A and B are shown apart, each in its own frame.
Chain A
């Protein structure tokens, strides 16, 4: 027996892989690759956030905090303490997971606006610490981060590589790596959603009281998904730091938390492919509207509001519904 997830899962994954590996045909300069790599990393972050927001129905307005913690932990451990990248990423993820569990346990009892405010506060506190601990983080001026090394193999935007006989520059190599990371992030997310754990998570969203009477410990599951989404953010923050080679407290800032949540809402809460689309669209938008840079946060707020009012299901689910309606109409007309 095949369920709906199994079918759509494989289809989505293949579709995404094709797009990701066909995209280089349309990328003509290092700037394009740089942007596409950032998109992939942010998209993977948002896929993790969507587990919390879209599937379990909780909210986090402070997720940039976890992204920032991951970025700075990697930056500091590799830059100042000579760690290698992989252990820094993994230890950072574990620490961020523990922090998320400690703060998540009490605040996830809250609902609605109260939860929003509490997560907002968590993000603010992390951003303030990063800003103030200048001796460790460089403060508002930011800090340089060494390039990514994977067990001695260095991946740098300024390097040059060869893969199956193809000559790649550093940006191209980084893009391919980020694309792979995104695919793995999506695969894990899909596996999680379509499982007993995933059902329990979705039931917290669907009907918390129903979940409890069939034996779901809803408090634990909320904490679990909060931790998982924080770990996604931490890992992606770490990769982002290595890729950029320089980080500032902006990676942990409130503005960025809003960008992340807007990507989820715009793309489609509870749709993994949708939130990736959301990430792409909102990452492209500032490029297109470069003249309105100082209004960026306002713009994101506006998009968030308008989506919630006029397109509550989000971009991709709305498009999919419209398409399937048209197809049904067509089929009906022929019959």
Chain B
């Protein structure tokens, strides 16, 4: 049985800068797998590679055993991958719930004819899509914003909204890039609860996060990056006691 995500010898260079260099690891289905490291370590770049936004300079990524080299982000989404962004990506020209409904794009079959004439079948689908989206917004804790314009929402609420959108796709694996950034203590605690709930549903979670308390408490395994290279990999206990990691964090 191969891992859900398998990364081998991954390299990404921007001009002369090696943002990711010789990175290998594997994520098993059902895990909460975190990637940590100092600023500029290459965590976001790694997520961009895994989600198909960047193409690797070298190396290979396999999702469920299939090489993702030729797959666009939308094709990876079809195979069950979804993500959020460190620089939030919300459609500000839509309402909150429409953003979440967008997440169900692949679940909705629609043709132009039934769209133009607004046939009952389409309306029924939309109705249940909206229902599901509303539930998800409740689940992530922004249920009170349904028809609010996204542009009128607070930062913390938008961060949760982005997670709801990703969940709406019913992904097998969800990639969260610094979901706790900019959140206060209470919000971070709520987020930890939320990530646990997501994991409990059987969704594999990949997490980039600077909040050590959150990461150590929630992760099954961790990958530590430094200057694009793997510094350490293992369970939280091993990482906490790894001298290289301690040096990198205290020294850097």
Contacts and interface: CB of A to CB of B under 8 A. Distances in A.
B118 to A, nearest CB: 5
Interface string A184-217: 0000100110011111101101110111111111
A214 B126 contact: no
Contacts of A192: 115-116
Interface string B20-54: 00000000000000000000000000000001010
Given A188-B116, A214-B103, A215-B105, A206 B92 contact: yes
A215 B130 contact: no
A199 B73 contact: no
Interface stretch (B58-66, B78-86, B137-145, B191-199): B78-86
A1 B106 contact: no
A205 B72 CA distance: 19
Nearest to A54: B93
A214 B77 contact: yes
Given A1-B127, A191-B117, A215 B94 contact: no
Contact of A215 (B89, B95, B118, B169): B169
Given A200-B105, A202-B93, A206-B94, A214 B115 contact: no
Counting chain B CB atoms within 10 Å of each CB, the highest count among A199, A202, A212, A216 belongs to A199
Contacts of B67: none
Contacts of A215: 74, 77-78, 105-106, 169
B242 interface: no
B221 interface: no
A192 B116 CA distance: 6
Given A209-B53, A217-B74, A195 B115 contact: yes
A70 B105 CA distance: 33
A221 to B, nearest CB: 10
A1 B91 contact: no
A214 B118 contact: no
Residue in A4, A200, A206, A215 with the greatest tally of chain B CB atoms within 10 Å: A215
Contacts of B81: 213
A213 B83 contact: yes
A59 B93 CA distance: 17
Interface residues of B, number: 46
A199 B98 contact: yes
B169 A210 contact: no
Contacts of B82: 213-214
Contacts of A197: 110, 112, 115
B135 to A, nearest CB: 12
A3 B54 CA distance: 37
A198 B126 CA distance: 12
Q: Classify the secondary structure of A's interface with B.
A: helix
Interface residues of A, number: 29
B165 A214 contact: yes
A60 to B, nearest CB: 19
A224 B103 CA distance: 20
Interface in A262-285: 270
Contact of B73 (A4, A198, A200, A213): A213
A218 interface: yes
Contacts, number: 112
Nearest to B118: A191
A199 B74 CA distance: 15
Q: Which of B110, B129, B169 has the most CB of A within 10 A?
A: B110
B208 interface: no
A234 to B, nearest CB: 16
Given A1-B127, A212-B73, A215-B78, A270 B105 contact: no
Given A195-B115, A199-B94, A202-B94, A212 B85 contact: no
A195 B122 contact: yes
B105 A195 contact: no
A191 B165 CA distance: 23
A191 B115 CA distance: 6
A3 B112 contact: no
Contacts of B94: 199, 202-203, 206
Nearest to A4: B147
B166 interface: yes
A199 B82 CA distance: 18
A203 B110 CA distance: 16
Given A200-B105, A209-B85, A214 B93 contact: no
A270 B94 CA distance: 11
B173 interface: no
B108 interface: yes
Given A4-B147, A215-B74, 19 more contacts: A1-B127, A3-B97, A3-B147, A191-B115, A192-B116, A196-B122, A196-B125, A196-B126, A199-B94, A206-B90, A212-B73, A213-B51, A213-B82, A213-B83, A214-B77, A214-B168, A215-B106, A216-B74, A270-B93
Shortest 3 CB-CB distances between A and B: which pairs? A206-B91, A215-B77, A210-B89
Interface of B: 51, 53, 72-74, 76-78, 81-83, 85, 89-95, 97-98, 101-103, 105-106, 108, 110, 112, 115-118, 122, 125-127, 129-131, 134, 147, 165-166, 168-169
Interface of A: 1, 3-4, 188, 191-192, 195-200, 202-203, 205-207, 209-218, 224, 270
14 contacts: A1-B131, A195-B118, A196-B105, A196-B115, A199-B101, A199-B105, A207-B90, A210-B89, A210-B90, A213-B51, A214-B105, A214-B168, A215-B106, A215-B169
